[in-house]
Amino acid sequence: MLIDRIIGAAAMLLAAVYLYATSQIPTLEIGDPLGPKAFPMLLGIALIAAAILLFIETLKADADEGEKAPRGSMRHWWLIGGVTGWTALYFGLFDRAGYLIATVMYLLPMMAVFNPGKWVANVLTTVLWAVGSYVLFVKILGVVLPVGLLGF
């Protein structure tokens, strides 16, 4: 299967980068015969070995004639991409905007997309959730969350 070949190649590449980074660690060997490099070196080699094992497995699977499952449509990919980007934005503004504002701004569009058409329920849940969780975590459980723009 093509995807497994790509995984194997990616693992090889990662192992190479990791091994290179390992070789760049400066060492002062005092009382520690191995130093900080030895264990990571083994890990790099282990990853290469796993990639080779995967190639062998793919060869076997190809010989057994693996079925080609059609992947889902592209719609899912841009959806996941969108959610990821939106969440990244939420996390990025978490500090500056503050938990309450950022969370409300984040949740409303999320719910509008994934629970469409139910405006009242969505808005109510969002606001109740944001305020409720803030009170629960900050006031009762003593967790520190950013206040941001509200500054109270």
Partner 1 sequence: MDTLGHILNGFNVALMPINLWYTFLGCFMGTIIGILPGIGPAAGIGLLIPITFGMDPTSALIMMAGIYYGAMYGGSTTSILINTPGEASSVMTALDGYQMAKKGRAGAALAVSAIGSFLAGTFGIVALTMLAVPLAAVALKFGPAEYFCLMLFALAAVSSLTGKSAAKGIMSTVLGLMVATIGIDLQSGQPRYTMGVPELQDGVGFLVVVVGMFAIGEVLSNLEEHIKGKAEIIRLSGKLWLTREEWRRSVMPIIRGGVIGFFKGVLPGAGATIATMMSYMVEKRISKTPEKFGTGMIEGVAGPEAANNAATCGAMVPLLTLGIPGSGATAVLMGAFIMYGIQPGPLLFEKRPDLVWGLVDSMYIGNIMLLILNLPLIGIFVRILYIPTGILLSLILAISAIGVYSINGNALELQMALMFGIVGYVFRKIDIPLAPMVLALVLGGIMEQSFRQAMTISGADPRVFVGSGICITLLVLAVITVLLPVLLPRLRAMKEGPEDLDS
* Tokens 């190649």 -> residue: 9
**Binding status of residue 74 toward partner 1 by CB under 8 A:** no
Q: Show the tokens assigned to 48.
A: 């290469």
Residues counted in the chain: 152
DSSP string, 34-97: STTTHHHHHHHHHHHHHHHHHHHHHHHHHHTT---PPPPPTHHHHHHHHHHHHHHHHHHHHHHH
Q: Smallest distance from the beta carbon of 14 to partner 1, in angstroms? A: 8
How far is residue 129's CA from residue 99's CA, in Å, rounded to a whole number? Answer: 11
- Chosen residue from 9, 56, 59, 131 binding partner 1 by CB under 8 A: 56
- Chosen residue from 5, 23, 36, 131 binding partner 1 by CB under 8 A: 36
Contacts of 86 (CB under 8 A, 6+ apart): 106, 109, 110
**Binding status of residue 127 toward partner 1 by CB under 8 A:** no
Residue with smaller CB distance to partner 1, 85 or 152: 85
- Chosen residue from 16, 59, 143, 149 binding partner 1 by CB under 8 A: 143
- Residues near partner 1 (CB under 8 A) are 3-4, 7, 11, 14, 18, 21-22, 25-28, 31-36, 38-40, 43, 46-47, 49-51, 53-54, 56-57, 72, 75-76, 79-80, 83-84, 87-88, 90-92, 94-95, 99, 103, 106-107, 110-111, 113-116, 118, 121-122, 125, 129, 133, 137, 141-146
